[in-house]
Amino acid sequence: MVNILFTGGAGFIGSSIIDKLNKKKYNIYVVDNLLTGKYKNIPLGKRVKFLKINVNDKKKLIKSTNKLSIDYIFHFAACVGVKRTLKNPLKVLEDIDGFKNILYLARFKKVKRVFFSSSSEVYGEGQGLAQNEEKTPLNSRLPYAIVKNVGESFFKTYKNEYNINYTIFRLFNTYGPKQSSDFVVSQFLKNALKNKDINIYGNGQQSRTFCYIDDTVEAIINCFEKNYFINSTVNIGNNKVTKIIDLAKIIKKITRSNSKIKKIEPLKEGDMLRRKPDIKKMKSVLNRRFTSLEKGLYSILKEYE
């Protein structure tokens, strides 16, 4: 039986991956401090166990996992969300301790590979599209993005020093069921269904590429099970560009909402103008068509109704 330690497993993306892994024959230890993750997200069962741990606390992490057999680690625990990370920059920096602790554990347990949830934010403001894993310079400025960049360096360095295999996932805007309401898609849907104003920062011309959770999960699990991109970095996302103001209009249309689209003061920082990944690697891993934005939105409407 393969044993997996999954940090941040009560979060939106982490728990969605565990939902799929749980249907296969894996033992999964879900580690989360429930700061932003939700206990109800975890598909607890015979092969899924929950450990309430802050991975930044090395003593507790090592003590709680001392007797566990661990073959693979998925490190998805992080302080997330633009507003939250801007308000709590020191808490974001604490995540660096988590990198050290997880990699110490990986070395101690002699795991076969670690999977790290990085972010498109490491690219900073787009300097040429599409953003390629190897060719686009990392231009991060904000604490969250810088810490993710530091994390990537830790995983690469531990490969060089201790031969611990890794795969880095740079996640672009993923949406779907269970997502926290402080992210753009879920926020717009929630307001549209209540006919409340849909607030847009600035002029709404910021562009993003939205990837449905099923596509994200399938690509990540394929990397794990089929041994794709060992000791490499993979953009996980869709490359269909949508302006934020157009996202609001699409959501208004599919919800038949009477909400008004209201432009409010731009964020002082953290709201990048554009995002578009190079998805050559992602397409090879997914090996099927992406879920369209409209189809993905329709599929999660019941979550908000």
Using alpha carbons, select from 179, 160, 153, 166 the residue that is nearest to residue 12: 179
Please give the model's pTM, rounded to 2 decimal places. Answer: 0.94
Report the mean per-residue pLDDT for the chain. Answer: 93
Q: Which amino acid is at 176?
A: G
Handedness of CA 161, 167, 172, 175 (dihedral sign): negative
Instruction: Assess contact for 10 and 41: CB atoms under 8 A.
Output: yes
The structure tokens listed for 246 are 């157009």
81 has pLDDT over 90: no
Q: Which residues contact 177 (CB under 8 A, 6 or more apart)?
A: 16, 213, 300, 303
Q: 131 with 281: CB under 8 angstroms?
A: no
| N-terminal to C-terminal alpha carbon distance within the chain | 40
- Tens of pLDDT, residues 45-64: 999 999 999 999 999 999 99
- Report helix, strand and coil shares of the chain as percent, to nearest 5: 40, 20, 40
Residue 275: which pLDDT band, with cuts at 50, 70 and 90? confident
pLDDT tens digits along 112-171 = 999 999 999 999 876 667 899 998 888 888 888 999 999 999 999 999 999 999 999 999
User: Residue 165 corresponds to which tokens in the numbers above?
Assistant: 């295999």
pLDDT of the residue at 132: 94
Report the distance separating Cα 90 and Cα 99, nearest Å.
Answer: 15
| pLDDT for position 223 | 98
Q: What is the largest CA-CA distance in the chain?
A: 58
| Residue, of 293 and 142, whose pLDDT is higher | 293
Does the structure show a pLDDT above 60 at 270? no
Contact 29, 53 (CB under 8 A): no
What are the helix (H) ranges across the chain?
12-21, 58-65, 82-87, 89-93, 95-109, 143-162, 184-193, 213-225, 244-255, 280-286, 293-304
Contact criterion met (CB below 8 Å) for 150 and 103: no
